[in-house]
């Protein structure tokens, strides 16, 4: 199956760790993905917030290019990108008037026959649990991991068609495959404040603080995410949250691809784990000690 890859802007910038670790684990899994040529920004939250047509047209250009190149499946690791691509695909499937308007503007046809996958769907559905399990060389037993899903992977359910919108488990299943212990907690799908990070930092810190302190209270060693924006809020703003609420967190936030990579025995440097703002040194040391005992 030909697999198209839509990296999106964050994976080429502030969340480069996500792309580095994704490409590394796919190399180990011996799977090939191809970047959609000359892809453009999906418009993210800004487009759907103030211009509905743009929020469909911008993702549609990428989908139409992938379709023209004969791809059957698109991987969009960024939760926001996968949300916007799926949303555009859904609207184009269900609204013929809009579809005509958009395809006329793009001057490209679009048949909406590809499957669009977020990172978790790709790992479970395309790579497969058995294949992932067979690659686990250094089980992370003894490490407690909280999976944070946020909003865009699961909502709105009628468009995302993925997992349970209130209590998703896919990422926890992947965590279990690595040998680590999934941690249950209350804020799995509560919003981190998302795109308002720059415009309403106080609101974002309150929301993200709730999530992080609940994770801490439930005894996790680290957090895994599958969204660059969640990662930015949980990782980049963590020091500030600690200062604001005067309580230490020290919770490393890893992408799910990085956690899988560690269990495959890949060097943390090759997974760009040192690119995060909250140092993961203590957890990495713990993992090293535990795996040496095995």
Partner 1 sequence: MKTVINEQNRRNFAAQVESMLHDKLAKCYQCGKCSAGCPVNFEMDYTPNQIIKMTELGMEDKVLSSKTIWLCVSCNTCSTRCPKGFEVTGIMDVLREIAEKKGIVSKVEKEVQMFHEVFLDNVKSNGRIFELELVGKYKLKTRHLFRDMFLAPKMLEKGKLKMHGEKIAGLNQIAKIFKDFE
- Contact between 167 and partner 1 by CB under 8 A: the answer reads no
Q: Which is nearer to partner 1, 51 or 111 (CB)?
A: 51
Specify the stretch interacting with partner 1 by CB under 8 A; choose among 134-142, 213-221, 255-263, 270-278.
270-278
Evaluate whether 88 touches 56 at the Cβ level (below 8 Å).
yes
DSSP string, 13-37: TTTHHHHHHHHHHHHHTT---EEPT
Q: Does 164 bind partner 1 (CB under 8 A)?
A: no
Non-local (6+) Cβ contacts of 5 within 8 A are 33, 34, 35, 36, 74, 75
HSE, CB side, 13 Å, CA atoms: give it for residue 113: 9
Residue 50 binding partner 1, by CB under 8 A: yes
Instruction: Name the phi and psi angles at 190, rounded to 5.
Output: -75, 145
Chain centroid to Cα 163, Å, comes to: 14
The binder of partner 1 chosen from 2, 13, 184, 285 (CB under 8 A): 13
Residue 214 binds partner 1 (CB under 8 A): no
Q: Is 52 in the site for partner 1 (CB under 8 A)?
A: yes
CB 290 → partner 1: shortest distance, Å? 26
DSSP state at residue 10:
G
At 224, give phi and psi (nearest 5°).
-115, 145
- Interaction of residue 58 with partner 1, rule CB under 8 A: yes
Rule CB under 8 A: is residue 241 a binding residue for partner 1? Answer: no
In the bound complex, what is the minimum distance in angstroms from residue 165's beta carbon to partner 1? Answer: 5
Binding site for partner 1 (CB under 8 A): 9-10, 12-16, 38-41, 43-54, 57-58, 61, 105-107, 151, 155-157, 165-166, 189-191, 193-196, 198-201, 203, 207, 236, 274-277
């Amino acid at each position: 199956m030909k697999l198209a890859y839509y990296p999106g802007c964050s994976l080429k910038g502030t969340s480069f760790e996500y792309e580095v670790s994704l490409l590394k684990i796919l190399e180990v899994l011996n799977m090939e993905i191809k970047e959609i040529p000359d892809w453009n920004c999906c418009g993210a939250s800004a487009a759907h917030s103030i211009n509905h047509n743009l929020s469909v047209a911008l993702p549609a250009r990428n989908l139409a290019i992938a379709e023209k190149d004969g791809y059957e499946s698109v991987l969009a690791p960024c939760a926001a990108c996968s949300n916007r691509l799926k949303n555009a695909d859904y609207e184009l499937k269900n609204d013929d008037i809009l579809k005509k308007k958009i395809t006329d503007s793009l001057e490209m046809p679009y048949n909406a026959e590809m499957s669009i996958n977020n990172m978790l769907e790709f790992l479970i559905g395309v790579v497969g649990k058995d294949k992932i399990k067979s690659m686990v060389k250094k089980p992370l037993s003894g490490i407690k991991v909280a999976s944070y899903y946020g909003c865009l992977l699961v909502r709105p359910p009628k468009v995302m068609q993925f997992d349970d919108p209130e209590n998703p488990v896919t990422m926890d299943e992947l965590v279990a495959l690595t040998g680590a212990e999934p941690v249950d907690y209350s804020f799995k799908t509560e919003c981190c404040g998302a795109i308002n990070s720059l415009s309403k930092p106080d609101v974002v810190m309150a929301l993200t603080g709730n999530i992080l302190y609940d994770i801490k209270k439930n005894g996790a060693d680290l957090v895994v995410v599958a969204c660059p924006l969640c990662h930015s809020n949980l990782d980049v703003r963590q020091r500030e949250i600690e200062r604001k609420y005067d309580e230490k967190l020290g919770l490393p936030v890893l992408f799910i691809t990085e956690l899988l990579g560690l269990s495959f025995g890949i060097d943390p440097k090759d997974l760009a784990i040192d690119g995060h703002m909250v140092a993961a040194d203590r957890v990495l040391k713990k993992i090293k000690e535990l795996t040496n005992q095995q």
